Amino acid sequence: MRLISWNVNGLRAIVKKDFYASVEALSPDVLCLQETKMQKGQCDIELPGYTQLYNSADRKGYSGTAVFARVPMLSNTMGIGVDLHDHEGRVITCEFDDFFLVNCYTPNSQNELRRLSYRMQWEDDFREYLVGLNAQKPVVLCGDLNVAHEEIDLKNPKTNHHNAGFTDEERSKFTELLEAGFIDSFRHFYPDLTGAYSWWSYIGGARARNAGWRIDYFVVADQLKDRMADPKIHSSIMGSDHCPVELTIIPKEA
């Protein structure tokens, strides 16, 4: 199953660019989007053959996730069942035959880390949610997780230390998630690859200089380790300040 995750930074905006051509070229079985910034019905997305799911924030024009699937799913749920977190449209969970796919847009700790304490609560509650799912069947988590885990995952680690997305606290929570039974799929295949980024600031020509961060992930349950294949970062695909990331889950042997 070919999975694509992409923070589109506004779904209504990106469809006016090369979004449809990019999706056609990527040909995902499941496309997970973050930061859609729209309510369902505000924009008609023309992807024939795909079931469309939306989880929108209560606040219009903010956050939001979507899933487009051309393979059958058993069920889907919105949010994580914690009222504190479930008003910003940040999570969609899709159940397939032998795994859960969780599409997530993690809260940003924001300038001056004014939302860091909330982010820490989110991390603990979200990890508990994932571990609970994983006890039922293996989990594939994808999305913009708003953290560069290690120094190799961003261009300028020293000048960004203690900034949102590269604080010790956020990085430690990501480590806790991995220690709870999960794998950073990209680093599993490419442990030492430098210059592999999925987000670039719009400021200062960062993308042209590849001064970026890797904050978009597929984090996969240990049980699926041998079924992961072809992780990719599609840095040449434009339209957002993020690019799509990809992972294939090989079908389970009969």
Q: Active-site residue numbers?
A: 105, 144
What token pair was written down for 128?
A: 């508990």
Strand locations in the chain (E): 2-7, 30-34, 51-55, 65-69, 75-78, 91-95, 100-105, 139-144, 182-184, 199-200, 212-213, 216-221, 228-233, 245-249
What token pair was written down for 215?
A: 């904050």
CA angle 138, 220, 128 (to 5 degrees): 65
- Let me know: does 4 contact 30? Beta carbons within 8 Å: yes
| Torsion angles phi and psi, residue 247, rounded to 5 | -155, 140
- Which residues share a beta bridge with 142? 103, 218
Q: How far is the CA of 144 from the CAs of 10, 23, 114, 121, 197, in angstroms?
A: 14, 18, 19, 17, 12
- Let me know: does 57 contact 88? Beta carbons within 8 Å: yes
CA angle 149, 240, 56 (to 5 degrees): 85
